Protein backbone atom coordinates (compact mmCIF):
# COMPACT_ATOMS: atom_id res chain seq x y z
CA UNK A 1 0.00 0.00 0.00
CA UNK A 2 2.78 2.41 0.98
CA UNK A 3 4.68 1.63 -2.22
CA UNK A 4 1.55 2.26 -4.29
CA UNK A 5 0.87 5.61 -2.62
CA UNK A 6 4.49 6.63 -3.09
CA UNK A 7 4.35 5.68 -6.77
CA UNK A 8 1.19 7.76 -7.24
CA UNK A 9 2.80 10.65 -5.38
CA UNK A 10 5.91 10.52 -7.55
CA UNK A 11 3.90 10.24 -10.77
CA UNK A 12 1.77 13.24 -9.82
CA UNK A 13 4.90 15.18 -8.94
CA UNK A 14 6.57 14.43 -12.28
CA UNK A 15 3.44 15.54 -14.11
CA UNK A 16 2.99 18.79 -12.15
CA UNK A 17 6.70 19.59 -12.20
CA UNK A 18 6.78 19.16 -15.97
CA UNK A 19 4.25 22.00 -16.35
CA UNK A 20 6.79 24.78 -16.28
CA UNK A 21 8.08 27.49 -18.56
CA UNK A 22 11.22 29.61 -18.69
CA UNK A 23 9.07 32.72 -18.55
CA UNK A 24 7.36 31.80 -15.26
CA UNK A 25 10.40 30.32 -13.49
CA UNK A 26 11.72 33.56 -11.93
CA UNK A 27 8.21 34.68 -10.93
CA UNK A 28 7.44 31.37 -9.21
CA UNK A 29 10.83 31.40 -7.52
CA UNK A 30 10.17 34.88 -6.18
CA UNK A 31 6.68 33.86 -5.04
CA UNK A 32 8.14 31.14 -2.83
CA UNK A 33 10.34 33.63 -0.94
CA UNK A 34 9.08 34.83 2.44
CA UNK A 35 10.31 38.39 1.88
CA UNK A 36 8.00 38.73 -1.14
CA UNK A 37 4.95 38.44 1.10
CA UNK A 38 5.96 40.94 3.79
CA UNK A 39 3.45 43.58 2.51
CA UNK A 40 0.74 40.90 2.52
CA UNK A 41 1.60 39.89 6.09
CA UNK A 42 1.61 43.57 7.10
CA UNK A 43 -1.90 43.94 5.63
CA UNK A 44 -3.13 40.93 7.63
CA UNK A 45 -1.55 42.40 10.77
CA UNK A 46 -3.36 45.68 10.07
CA UNK A 47 -6.70 43.86 9.85
CA UNK A 48 -6.05 42.12 13.16
CA UNK A 49 -5.06 45.33 14.97
CA UNK A 50 -8.01 47.16 13.43
CA UNK A 51 -10.47 44.66 14.90
CA UNK A 52 -8.85 43.78 18.22
CA UNK A 53 -6.74 46.83 19.18
CA UNK A 54 -4.66 45.88 22.27
CA UNK A 55 -6.23 42.42 22.33
CA UNK A 56 -4.50 41.75 19.00
CA UNK A 57 -1.38 40.86 20.99
CA UNK A 58 -3.09 37.58 21.88
CA UNK A 59 -3.72 36.86 18.20
CA UNK A 60 -0.10 37.60 17.29
CA UNK A 61 1.03 35.32 20.10
CA UNK A 62 -1.19 32.54 18.72
CA UNK A 63 0.15 33.08 15.20
CA UNK A 64 3.73 32.95 16.44
CA UNK A 65 3.06 29.79 18.45
CA UNK A 66 1.31 28.08 15.52
CA UNK A 67 4.24 28.81 13.20
CA UNK A 68 6.65 27.55 15.87
CA UNK A 69 4.71 24.30 16.20
CA UNK A 70 4.34 23.83 12.44
CA UNK A 71 7.91 24.70 11.51
CA UNK A 72 9.60 22.74 14.28
CA UNK A 73 7.46 19.64 13.81
CA UNK A 74 8.17 19.47 10.08
CA UNK A 75 11.80 20.64 10.10
CA UNK A 76 13.15 19.36 13.41
CA UNK A 77 11.17 16.12 13.68
CA UNK A 78 9.62 14.87 10.43
CA UNK A 79 12.42 15.58 7.96
CA UNK A 80 15.22 13.89 9.93
CA UNK A 81 12.87 11.11 11.07
CA UNK A 82 11.48 10.06 7.68
CA UNK A 83 14.61 10.99 5.68
CA UNK A 84 12.73 11.29 2.40
CA UNK A 85 14.96 12.91 -0.18
CA UNK A 86 13.75 16.02 -1.92
CA UNK A 87 13.05 15.30 -5.62
CA UNK A 88 15.90 17.58 -6.64
CA UNK A 89 18.29 15.57 -4.44
CA UNK A 90 17.06 12.15 -5.58
CA UNK A 91 19.49 10.64 -8.13
CA UNK A 92 16.59 8.78 -9.78
CA UNK A 93 15.26 12.07 -11.14
CA UNK A 94 18.56 13.56 -12.29
CA UNK A 95 17.98 15.22 -15.64
CA UNK A 96 14.20 14.83 -15.26
CA UNK A 97 13.18 17.13 -12.42
CA UNK A 98 12.89 20.80 -13.21
CA UNK A 99 14.63 22.60 -10.35
CA UNK A 100 14.88 26.35 -10.59
CA UNK A 101 16.91 28.05 -7.87
CA UNK A 102 18.16 26.37 -4.74
CA UNK A 103 17.25 22.80 -3.89
CA UNK A 104 17.32 23.29 -0.13
CA UNK A 105 18.12 20.75 2.56
CA UNK A 106 18.53 17.06 1.84
CA UNK A 107 15.13 15.92 3.12
CA UNK A 108 11.70 17.27 2.24
CA UNK A 109 8.96 15.40 4.12
CA UNK A 110 7.03 17.38 5.15
CA UNK A 111 7.03 20.85 3.61
CA UNK A 112 7.65 23.66 6.09
CA UNK A 113 6.43 26.20 3.53
CA UNK A 114 3.09 24.38 3.41
CA UNK A 115 2.83 23.92 7.18
CA UNK A 116 3.64 27.56 7.93
CA UNK A 117 1.34 29.05 5.28
CA UNK A 118 -1.61 26.85 6.23
CA UNK A 119 -0.98 27.59 9.91
CA UNK A 120 -1.28 31.31 9.15
CA UNK A 121 -4.41 30.82 7.02
CA UNK A 122 -6.12 28.65 9.63
CA UNK A 123 -5.18 30.80 12.62
CA UNK A 124 -6.40 34.02 11.03
CA UNK A 125 -9.65 32.35 9.98
CA UNK A 126 -10.15 31.18 13.57
CA UNK A 127 -9.32 34.58 15.04
CA UNK A 128 -11.28 36.71 12.57
CA UNK A 129 -14.14 34.32 11.90
CA UNK A 130 -17.19 36.20 10.64
CA UNK A 131 -15.38 39.55 10.55
CA UNK A 132 -14.20 39.51 6.92
CA UNK A 133 -15.87 37.57 4.12
CA UNK A 134 -12.68 37.05 2.09
CA UNK A 135 -10.75 35.20 4.81
CA UNK A 136 -11.39 31.67 3.41
CA UNK A 137 -9.45 32.81 0.35
CA UNK A 138 -6.33 32.64 2.52
CA UNK A 139 -6.46 28.88 2.02
CA UNK A 140 -6.20 29.45 -1.73
CA UNK A 141 -3.14 31.63 -1.11
CA UNK A 142 -1.61 28.90 1.07
CA UNK A 143 -2.33 26.30 -1.63
CA UNK A 144 -0.71 28.37 -4.39
CA UNK A 145 2.22 29.25 -2.12
CA UNK A 146 2.72 25.55 -1.37
CA UNK A 147 2.35 24.59 -5.05
CA UNK A 148 5.42 26.67 -5.87
CA UNK A 149 7.47 24.05 -4.02
CA UNK A 150 6.30 21.35 -6.44
CA UNK A 151 6.85 23.60 -9.44
CA UNK A 152 10.42 24.31 -8.32
CA UNK A 153 11.14 20.61 -7.82
CA UNK A 154 11.85 20.69 -4.09
CA UNK A 155 8.77 18.86 -2.75
CA UNK A 156 6.45 16.01 -3.69
CA UNK A 157 2.66 16.57 -3.48
CA UNK A 158 2.50 14.39 -0.36
CA UNK A 159 5.12 16.61 1.32
CA UNK A 160 2.87 19.58 0.71
CA UNK A 161 -0.39 17.84 1.66
CA UNK A 162 0.93 16.50 4.97
CA UNK A 163 2.64 19.80 5.66
CA UNK A 164 -0.69 21.56 5.19
CA UNK A 165 -2.38 19.21 7.67
CA UNK A 166 0.40 19.83 10.20
CA UNK A 167 -0.11 23.57 9.76
CA UNK A 168 -3.87 23.39 10.27
CA UNK A 169 -3.52 21.23 13.38
CA UNK A 170 -0.76 23.49 14.74
CA UNK A 171 -2.99 26.55 14.30
CA UNK A 172 -5.92 24.93 16.09
CA UNK A 173 -3.67 23.81 18.95
CA UNK A 174 -1.96 27.19 19.29
CA UNK A 175 -5.27 29.05 19.20
CA UNK A 176 -6.71 26.79 21.88
CA UNK A 177 -3.63 27.20 24.12
CA UNK A 178 -3.35 30.98 23.82
CA UNK A 179 -7.06 31.71 24.10
CA UNK A 180 -7.35 29.26 26.97
CA UNK A 181 -4.46 30.96 28.79
CA UNK A 182 -6.06 34.35 28.10
CA UNK A 183 -9.37 33.20 29.60
CA UNK A 184 -7.69 31.78 32.71
CA UNK A 185 -5.67 34.98 33.18
CA UNK A 186 -8.77 37.18 32.85
CA UNK A 187 -10.69 35.03 35.35
CA UNK A 188 -7.85 35.22 37.88
CA UNK A 189 -7.48 38.96 37.52
CA UNK A 190 -11.23 39.38 37.90
CA UNK A 191 -11.21 37.16 40.97
CA UNK A 192 -8.38 39.16 42.55
CA UNK A 193 -10.18 42.42 41.79
CA UNK A 194 -13.35 41.14 43.47
CA UNK A 195 -11.42 39.98 46.57
CA UNK A 196 -9.65 43.34 46.79
CA UNK A 197 -12.96 45.15 46.45
CA UNK A 198 -14.61 43.02 49.14
CA UNK A 199 -11.64 43.49 51.45
CA UNK A 200 -11.77 47.28 51.07
CA UNK A 201 -15.45 47.23 52.09
Confidence at residue 200, expressed as pLDDT on a 0 to 100 scale: 59
- Is the predicted pLDDT of residue 130 greater than 90, yes or no? no
pTM of the predicted structure, to 2 decimals: 0.93
Q: What pLDDT score was predicted for residue 192? A: 75
pLDDT at 186 (0 to 100): 87
For 81-118, how does the pLDDT look when each residue is reduced to its tens digit (9 = 90+)? 999 999 999 999 999 999 998 899 999 999 999 999 99
Average pLDDT over residues 132-138: 90
Residues 6+ apart with CB under 8 A from 195: none
Please report the pLDDT score of residue 68 as a whole number.
Answer: 97
Q: pLDDT digits over 32-55, tens only?
A: 998 999 999 999 999 999 999 999
Q: Judge contact between 111 and 160, C-beta under 8 A.
A: yes
In tens, the pLDDT along 140-196 reads 999 999 999 999 999 999 999 999 999 999 999 999 999 999 999 988 888 776 766
Q: What is the pLDDT of residue 188?
A: 87
pLDDT score at 66: 97
d(CA 63, CA 168): 12
Amino acid sequence: MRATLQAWDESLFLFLNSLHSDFWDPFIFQATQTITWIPFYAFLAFLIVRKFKVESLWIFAAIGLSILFADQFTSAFMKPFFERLRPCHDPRWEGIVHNFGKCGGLYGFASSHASNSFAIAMLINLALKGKYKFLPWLFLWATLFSYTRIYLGVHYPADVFIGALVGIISACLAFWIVMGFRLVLIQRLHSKAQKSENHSE
